[in-house]
Structure 1
Amino acid sequence: MTAETIAPAPSLARLANDLTRDLMRPNPRIYWADLIATAAVTYLSLFVAVTARGAWALVAAAVCVLALYRAVSFIHELTHQRRDELPGFHLGWNLLIGVPFLTPSLLYEGVHMLHHAKDRYGTARDPEYMPLARRPLSSLLGFVLVALLAPVGVILRFAVLAPVSFLIPPLRRWVIAKTSAMTINTEFSREDFDRAGKAPWLAQEIACWLWSWAVIGLAAAGVIPIRAIVIAVAIYAVFALVNQLRTAVAHYWENDGSMMTFEGQFLDSVNVPPPALLPFLWAPVGLRYHGLHHLLPRMPYHNLGRAHARLVGHVPADHPYRQVEQPELVPALRRLIRKVR
């Protein structure tokens, strides 16, 4: 036997990196074109939803939910792509989407990367993990439905807690630790207090505070109809619900809290690849390849499909890489519900 014959197969992470090394650089033109087009659809459909009546208003609201969902989903890319490779994109996204919809990137940057840390994933220190498959069905229902309160949460965070916390230092520390992160693990607390005192964070937080007060003031003065506020809040709530359903099937949520290997983290994650079509709507900006994303966290969203195709073409049908695939949202939810029961 030759050494080549008995050499162990490369790890899945090594294989994925070797096959896709040329796909790791983001294309700024794609990012900007996608963001600008998505933002335009979001604002146009929102305008129609709050000004039209009947079926047209409902159709526009549905379009706005999906467009807003796609627009906000770029926050995930902000945490993984270097600013020098996407010049101005972080600022542009916050101006177009983050601040107007009270979801600035400060809520995700400095937190999401902890979810990818080898010594945190799936443990009590992971901000984005909850062992849902090991908990009763009521926990899963609560996890999904609490998303409907998201618009109330962001209004309280930036219109109330932000200005008050600047006046009360002990409250400020609690606001940073417990209300300044998009998390799943309710026990998680932010510890990067220095970040909250720097210009990027303060600019986003103050901008959201002033914007929220401006909207509330214009609504109170009758300049913005209350109907428009109610519709916008409803659209935000439904978008958050759709995102929570997607989150529920992003992992298998079976870990018992112990540390996992890198490939174990992948096997606890989910891909929903083609030929399924609907993930383009409910898992946008590359989120349909969540398992692959955990193998290649820096892979730009627009190259994940090509990377997946290369891996599928390289490995056999029974390879571990193929084990994390689900056909669609509903089957994936059914699997989770069966596991819970």
Structure 2
Amino acid sequence: MSILSTPIVGTDPAASPAGPRDFAWRSQARTLIDDLLVRSPAIYWTDFLLSTGIGWAATAVYFLARPWSLLQIVAFLVASFLFYRAGTFIHEIIHMPVRQMVWFKRAWNLLLGVPFLMPWIMYSNHIEHHNHRRFGTPSDGEYLPLGSSPLKETFKYLVQAPLLPLFMLLRFGIAGPVSWFVPKLRHLVLTRASAAVSNPYYNERFPKRFENHLKVVEALCLAYIVALALLVWNDVISLTQVAMGYLLLAFTLGLNWVRNLAAHRYVNDGTPMTLAAQVEESINITGQTWLTVAFFPVGLRYHALHHLFPALPYHNMDAAHRRLMEHLPADASYRDSNRDSFFAAVAELWQAARRTPHESSAMRAWLPRSDKS
């Protein structure tokens, strides 16, 4: 199977059981943005190639500059934020139709997915995040009830970020290849280590129909790791440079890990939610600041809008949001999803968590049965 040739098909948000009383404005919203649902391949290619190309150039400067110099620090930050921007196209890829922009998907994997050990097929579970039977429940890989659990759960979430590159290295460098020959280990890898999730209790098996695709990218990632190991063994790459690479990757992945705190309110107790409730649980960051532009690239700032219309391409989200704010009824719940800044959204999450006593923690619904004491 050719790498990146397998499509991911999204669920139709209209299939949600949200009733007309609590969501009557959605049909009007769809009419308002209907002409904005067409993707522009030129915008995707230009944005991605510029972000990735400048990101790799900044990485070269980062490695070659004098240690701890201003130039090295600036290059590190530029590379991280541009790789973060380019990386978020994985979200767009997952929502693309069956055969749309196949070469873009391949290019994303080859220029970023494999070098960063995060091929896009690992994110195929994201579609479940839009399923009304899974969203906000323990079977949602991208949801933890941080706002309805004590603060310690938020801290536990954050301390995982620096360990993400190590996990990926072990997954693609050891566990994945060994599991090709050990069926029991393969089952464990496909169940516990083959999905890009923030919910550590997620244990859904990787889809069988994508397993061949997964093996292709596993082989590519292994070849990449072996090549790097040989360069280290032959002193072409120093251990200091390995540490520098780890730091760059950890910081880049950590940006998304922290940004995710402002994607939802995270106060659901684990019961299924209607599409209307999903939108109300999600957040738009509407402040026009440099931080919003850098920290919420490729449409991530409009997360409530994305849950309302998952197929809406990122380059049309600004226009779509403006239309909805101008024309939707004053009492439309979409308006309640807006927050002025990342800090406002996180402060709300923080305060909700502080008010939650241990005995009322919603996280109990996520824990394995043996840990629910």
Taking only aligned residues, the RMSD between alpha carbons, in angstroms, comes to: 1.7
**Structure 2: gaps spanning 5 or more residues:** 1-19, 355-373
TM-superposed CA distance for 1:196, in Å, is 4.7
Would the aligned equivalents of 2:194 and 2:206 in 1 still touch at CA under 8 Å? no
Unaligned runs of 5+ in 1: 1-6
Cα shift at 1:28: 0.6
Give the aligned partner of residue 178 of structure 2: 164
Give the match for residue 138 of structure 1: 152
Offset at 1:151?
0.8
Output the CA distance in 2 between the equivalents of 1:153 and 1:323: 37
Choose from 104, 108, 128 the match for 1:89. 104
Q: 1:264 maps to which residue?
A: 277
* Structure 1 residue 239 corresponds to structure 2 residue 239: no
Q: Residues 270 and 324 of structure 1 are in contact (CA less than 8 Å); yes or no, is this contact kept in structure 2?
A: yes
Identity %, equivalent residues = 34
After TM superposition, give the deviation of residue 184 of structure 1 in Å: 2.0
Deviations 1:293-335, CA, capped at 9 Å, x for gaps: 0000011111111110110111255532111111111221111
Residue by residue, what CA displacement relative to the aligned partner does 1:226-269 show, whole Å, maximum 9, x if unpaired? 22221111011112222111111100001111111111000000
Distance 1:193 1:300, change over 3 A: closer
Structure 1 residue matching 2:144: 3-state secondary structure = coil
Query: Quick one: distance in 1 between partners of 2:72 and 2:137?
Result: 44
Distance in 2 between residues matched to 1:14 and 1:219, nearest whole Å: 58
CA distance in 2, matches of 1:335, 1:8: 28
Displacement after TM superposition at 1:74 (Å): 0.8
Q: Distance in 2 between matches of 1:72 and 1:296?
A: 21
> 8 Å contact 2:55–2:79 — kept in the other structure?
yes
- In structure 2, relative to structure 1, the CA distance for the partners of 1:274 and 1:330 (3 Å cut) is closer
Letter in 2 for 1:290: H
**3-state DSSP class of the match of 1:85?**
coil
| Contact 1:83–1:90, Cα closer than 8 Å, also in 2 | no
Does residue 1:214 correspond to 2:227, yes or no?
Answer: yes
Corresponding position: 1:52 with 2:65: yes
Give the whole-Å Cα distance in 1 for the aligned partners of 2:39 and 2:100: 7
Say how many residue pairs are matched. Answer: 333
TM-score normalized by the length of structure 1: 0.93
1:115 alignment partner, one of 129, 135, 141: 129
Which residue in 2 is equivalent to 1:280? 293
1:304 is the counterpart of 2:305: no
TM-score, scaled relative to structure 2:
0.86
Alignment partners' CA distance in 1, 2:169 and 2:269? 35
1:208 aligned partner, one-letter code: C
Matched-pair contact (CA < 8 Å) for 2:192–2:205: no
The CA distance in 2 between the partners of 1:295 and 1:247, in whole Å, is 18
Give 3-state SS (helix, strand or coil) of 1:254's partner.
coil
Runs of at least 4 residues of structure 1 off by over 6 A? Answer: 7-10
Q: What is the aligned partner in structure 1 of residue 87 from structure 2?
A: 72
Structure 2 match to 1:178:
192
| Code of the aligned partner of 2:71 | W
How far apart are the structure 2 equivalents of 1:330 and 1:63?
A: 22
Task: Write the deviation string for residues 149-198 of structure 1: whole angstroms up to 9, x where unpaired.
Answer: 11101111111111111121110111011011111222222324523532
1-side partners of 2:24 and 2:217: how far apart? 41
Q: Distance in 1 between the 2:230 and 2:288 partners?
A: 48
Superposition deviation, residue 10 in structure 1: 6.6
Aligned amino acid, residue 282 of structure 1: F
Q: How does 1:193-204 map to 2 (within 5 A)?
A: 193-198=207-212, 200-204=213-217
**What secondary structure is seen at the aligned counterpart in 2 of 1:16?**
helix
Aligned to 2:360: none
How far does residue 9 in structure 1 lie from its aligned partner after superposition? 9.4
- Partners of 1:337 and 1:206 lie apart in 2 by 42
Residues 83, 89 of structure 1: 8 Å contact kept: no
- Give how far 1:124 is off: 1.7
Aligned letter for 2:159?
L
| Cα pair 1:16 1:295 within 8 Å, conserved | no
Return the letter of the residue paired with 1:203.
V
Q: Aligned equivalents of 1:189 and 1:29: distance in 2?
A: 38
More divergent stretch after superposition (156-165 vs 180-189): 180-189
Provide the rounded CA distance (Å) in 1 between the counterparts of 2:269 and 2:307: 19
CA–CA separation in structure 1 for the residues paired with 2:105 and 2:235? 34
State the one-letter code of the partner of 2:184. P
2:299–2:314 contact (8 Å) kept in structure 1: yes
Cα distance change on mapping 1:332 and 1:136 into 2, 3 Å: same
Partner of 2:3: none
Please name the residue that 1:3 is paired with: none
The alpha-carbon distance between structure 1 residues 258 and 95, as it changes in their structure 2 partners (threshold 3 A), is same
